[in-house]
Amino acid sequence: MLCDICKQNVATVHLTQMVEGKTKKVDLCETCSKDKGIDDPTGFSLADLLLGLGAAQEMAQASSGSELKCPSCGFTQADFKKSGRLGCADCYTTFAEGLEGLLKSMHKGTKHAGKVPRVLQQNKSVTEKLNGLQKRLEKAIAEEDFEQAATLRDEIKQVREKLDSLTTG
């Protein structure tokens, strides 16, 4: 049996773990298992490793041969296959296609549902308010309620200014 990573040496390290109720297996040679830090059990999860391998394959498929490279940091999918880590925040945009399936399989969802930095939070709520006003304005114009439309237009102008000051500040 050959190692799942280098596909050259004979696999001597065999790992099994339950991931989402399914039994996953990985067979590695001694060199690759050391590279992956498997001799250091506290820092190691088979899930990370498996998902890393799967993702690299998906990324290879998504880019169909032509090697994708992050424009910000120069990171490639081959680098991801080696380390299971990305190069910079922009890699998430560069490799978005290949990562999508991976994120779906490893997480509860693919949309962030937790904490948002305060600056962006304000930004977000103002944007939402603006969208609401815009809709009411369209409705007022459609109903030919021009007095209401004028009030809404002034309000939108104010909110826009606030949003500008938030994003530039």
Partner 1 sequence: MNIHEFLIPPDQSCKRAGPHDRIVMSSRVRLARNVKGMSFPGWAKKADRLRALEAIRPAVEALGQLAGGFSESMDNFSTLDKQILVERHLISREHAAKGVGSGLVVNREETLCVMINEEDHLRMQALRPGLQLRSAWLAIDQIDTALEGKLEYAFSNELGYLTACPTNLGTGIRVSAMLHLPALVLAEQINQIIQAVNKLGLAVRGLYGEGTEALGNVFQVSNQMTLGEAETDILERLNKVLLQLIEHEENARSTLLEKKPKMIFNHIGRAYGILANAHSISSKETMNLLSLMRLGIDLAMFPGIERWLVDELFILTQPAHLQKQFSDKLSAEERDLLRADMLRERLRHVSRPVAKLPPPQGNKPDKPASSS
Query: Interface residues with partner 1 (CB under 8 A)?
Result: 17-21, 37-38, 40-45, 47-48, 51, 55, 72-73, 75, 79, 83-89, 92, 99, 102-103, 106-120, 124
In the complex with partner 1, the residue whose CB is nearer, 9 or 44, is 44
In the complex with partner 1, the residue whose CB is nearer, 29 or 140, is 29
Element (H, E) at 16: strand 13-19
CB of 81 to partner 1, least distance (A): 13
How buried is 7 (Cβ within 10 angstroms: 0-12 exposed, 13-18 middle, 19+ buried)?
exposed
Angle at 37 (CA atoms; ends 54, 42), nearest 5 degrees: 105
CA distance 163 to 125: 10
CB of 5 to partner 1, least distance (A): 17
In the complex with partner 1, the residue whose CB is nearer, 129 or 136, is 129
CA distance 130 to 147: 19
In the complex with partner 1, the residue whose CB is nearer, 124 or 139, is 124
CB of 74 to partner 1, least distance (A): 9
Q: 19 near 43, Cβ under 8 Å?
A: no
Tokens 């997480």 -> residue: 107
CB of 47 to partner 1, least distance (A): 6
